[in-house]
Chain A
Amino acid sequence: MLIPFFFQLRDGGLKTSITELLSLLEALDKGLARHSVDDFYYLARTTLVKDEADLDRFDRIFAAYFKGVDDALADLFTNVPDDWLKQQAELNLSEEERAKIEALGGFEELMKALAERLEEQDERHEGGSKWIGTAGTSPFGAYGYNPEGVRIGQSGSRNRSAAKVWDRREYRNLDNSLELGTRNIKVALRRLRKFAREGAADQLDLDDTIDKTARNAGYLDIRMVPERHNAVKVLLCLDIGGSMDDHVRVCEELFSAASSEFKHLEYFYFHNFIYESLWKDNRRRNSEKTPTLDITHKYGADYKLIFVGDATMSPYEIVYAGGSVEHWNDEPGAVWIKRLLNTYQKAIWLNPEPEERWAFTPSIKLTNELMDKRMFPLTLDGLDKGIKALR
């Protein structure tokens, strides 16, 4: 039971495990979702999905999988023999209700009207159940996982159909391939943390003190250690101006998150591509330049290098001397980026352009190759992968 659904979830990229499937079955066994598809959906969601980023994906798979079941139920509904229905109705209806049906033109009329209703209703047969609402309160039968799936005569309060709940896709915004906020970026960057104890020993090391004191036959032997710091060093190079104007906001967010997260953060700006010099202040970019070679000399190889840029330009700007749009460059950008990459083994390029577009922009492909395929989209997911590549 539910095993095909489970495999469809896994095929859909959800990391659902057997334990979770078993707990779902256990919960079903205990009768937690006996009454409606809604309940089953909620229960399955709470047991199988463990990250809000996956909720939307789950909704879509659930909809795709159970759409078939839903349609099958609709089929059954239209093909029910009249006699059986009639019998059921007589079994379950009160005198009063039967009188009401008579007033409507008798049971045959009712069934005819029902048939018409079924013709015109949409595939999810929401309209149908509403209409028969006046006829009685009989559950329709036990079909599969949802014993009361098709109800005749629902009270009408159940206007929130289960199908609607997952079809609404309310969790779309939480899908992690979408854009980021400062906080999300910080969380992602935090994974780059590498704690190390360096500097003056100014904290009491309780465990070591106890250990040493015990060995010292009970005489206090105080031990100190230095405090833990985030020891990661980051060199951030940001593309500025031109085509990057569209991405100013996300870059700002990345920058503000990075500057509060890393103690050792150095940043430089460039325009379109890396050449012989970079700058720190955009207003004085022409007067206060830092030669790229100085950077490689000043900051050690333990720095991690992050480029942020859309890499969208003419390929000439990368591969030819004099290709730069702003000045004459004696050596092509490709040479300069190779120099930087030779110094900094751990490097990535974050690209705010959507990944789907990369294949159509030659300069992006070129840059990605120069980076040894270490280009990642500037989304939460891409940042995650990028950080992994940096570690």
Chain B
Amino acid sequence: MDQQKFTGTENYIATDDLKMAVNAAVTLARPLLIKGEPGTGKTQLAVEVARSLGKPLYEWHIKSTTKAQQGLYEYDAVARLRDSQLGDERVQDIANYIVRGKVWQAFASEEQPVLLIDEVDKADIEFPNDLLQELDRMEFYVYETRELIKARHRPIMIITSNNEKELPDAFLRRCFFHYIKFPDEQTMAQIVDVHFPGLKKELLSEALNAFYKIRDVAGLKKKPSTSELLDWIKLLLAEDIPPEALRSENNRQAIPPLYGALLKNEQDVHLFERLVFLDRKAGGQR
């Protein structure tokens, strides 16, 4: 097969199932919908796919006010109105006021691009439905200039979602789907390794230990994820904290240093401190 295969990059570890999902989407030129806990590298995936396959990347970040039309093109009526009142020559040609959106840019790309539609669930509930035709046929119609825009090369579309809204069935049918599950300890060690090569082995295993322990604390509102772990390790390195400080069993100082990087929620920090306090008290009595 002459198709390039995505196998992860030197700073992005992809699991087997993720590789399969990406390669299937690339081969069949279908959009790939990625879901998963925040901070597991959904957005990063598109960047890395583009990099490893050597293709240009177009990013379209969705906000709650984004309309599907904005990704295709916008007709800048206000500019045209102003020009018309000033008697500008440009006003004669409506094409001057058509502003290309990200999808159009990707469609017009010289080589096959990667198009990231980030956080598609943030937009209005009808947003995905408005993109069905574009995803399916990779073409759309510009009413103002009466031209049909066709993709020169079907882009590799990567769509991310945080599950804030249910996506319509018709939309899902057209996509491949992958759920990035939280990496296990082994994969996590690989991920940390590509980000901080040469990290002392001891520190790494202690840090991972402490990290998974915190994730196991029942009742946390937001469990720390991969990106938080990476931030935390960055801090640990910057502060030059020795691995021993992370080992909670020895000294009963069970709060890992700089834990603010891991717990983002005030209530979580509170809960955590209370648990540590209880634990310490129990230890003192022993």
Contacts and interface: CB of A to CB of B under 8 A. Distances in A.
B283 to A, nearest CB: 27
Contact of B164 (A46, A187, A220): A187
B11 interface: no
Contacts of B32: 46
B179 A19 contact: no
Given A30-B28, A38-B16, A220-B81, A46 B173 contact: no
A218 B85 CA distance: 8
Contacts of A39: 16, 20
B30 A23 contact: yes
Contacts of A181: 221
B35 interface: yes
A122 interface: no
B163 interface: yes
Interface stretch (A48-56, A93-101, A273-281): A48-56
A191 B166 contact: yes
B172 interface: yes
A31 B28 contact: no
B33 A50 contact: yes
Contact of B23 (A32, A47, A220): A32
B244 interface: no
B239 to A, nearest CB: 32
Interface string B7-33: 000000000110011011101101011
A20 B171 CA distance: 12
Nearest to A384: B166
Nearest to A49: B177
A43 interface: yes
Given A39-B20, A50-B33, A171-B181, A213 B81 contact: yes
Nearest to B222: A183
Interface in A5-59: 15, 17, 19-20, 23, 26-27, 30-33, 38-39, 42-43, 45-47, 49-52, 55
A33 B20 contact: yes
A51 B84 CA distance: 50
Given A170-B181, A182-B221, A190-B165, A218 B84 contact: yes
Contact of A46 (B77, B84, B166, B176): B176
Given A190-B165, A213-B81, A218-B85, A42 B173 contact: no
A196 interface: no
A10 to B, nearest CB: 14
A15 B85 contact: no
A182 B265 CA distance: 14
> Which has the most chain B C-beta neighbours within 10 Å: A38, A45, A170?
A45
**Interface majority SS (helix, strand, loop, mixed), chain A:** helix
> Which has the most chain B C-beta neighbours within 10 Å: A27, A46, A206, A210?
A46
A51 B221 contact: no
Given A27-B27, A30-B27, A170-B181, A50 B175 contact: yes
B35 A42 contact: no
B175 A187 contact: no
Contacts of B181: 170-171
A85 B155 CA distance: 48
A174 interface: yes
B238 interface: no
B88 interface: no
Interface of B: 1, 16-17, 20-21, 23-25, 27-28, 30, 32-33, 35, 77-78, 81, 84-85, 163-166, 169, 172-179, 181, 221
13 contacts: A15-B169, A19-B174, A20-B173, A31-B1, A46-B176, A49-B177, A50-B172, A50-B175, A50-B177, A170-B181, A190-B165, A206-B77, A213-B81
Given A15-B169, A218-B85, 20 more contacts: A17-B173, A19-B174, A23-B176, A27-B28, A30-B1, A30-B27, A31-B1, A32-B20, A32-B23, A32-B24, A43-B20, A43-B24, A46-B176, A46-B178, A47-B176, A50-B175, A52-B163, A171-B179, A171-B181, A206-B78
Complex A-B, nearest 7 residue pairs according to Cβ-Cβ distance, in ascending order: A42-B20, A50-B172, A46-B21, A52-B179, A42-B17, A50-B177, A46-B176
